Amino acid sequence: KIALTDAGVYADNAKITFTVEEYVGGGIKTPYFYFVFNNDTVQWSYRIDATLGIVLEKSEVKLLSSLQKSKRKGVAYCHA
């Protein structure tokens, strides 16, 4: 909920797919949860402090649509 709210998609009715949900806590000073999720347009990565529930690190990357991927493959094929 923390990562989805921070990304601004918690209240969205958009389809969210989690691709990574991992707890990292073995022998480190600050255990955290690592999440990677997307809505087919944007992919977010989050590290959430497992004790305090605060965002430690986050990133956002725009994903290519199927049409954009097809165009790139076509351009790469034409240049080959």
Q: Which fold has domain 2-79?
A: Nuclear Transport Factor 2; Chain: A, (3.10.450)
Q: Is there a contact between 37 and 5 (Cβ–Cβ < 8 Å)?
A: no
In tens, the pLDDT along 16-31 reads: 889 999 999 988 889 9
Collapse the DSSP code of 74 into the 3-class scheme (helix H, G, I; strand E, B; otherwise coil) and give the result.
helix
In tens, the pLDDT along 28-71 reads: 889 999 999 999 899 999 999 999 999 999 999 999 876 555 55
pLDDT of residue 1: 85
Rounded CA separation 39/37 (Å): 7
Where is pLDDT greater, at 34 or 14? 34
Q: Average of pLDDT values for 67-77?
A: 56
List of residues 6+ apart from 22 with CB closer than 8 A: 33, 34, 35
pTM, full prediction: 0.71
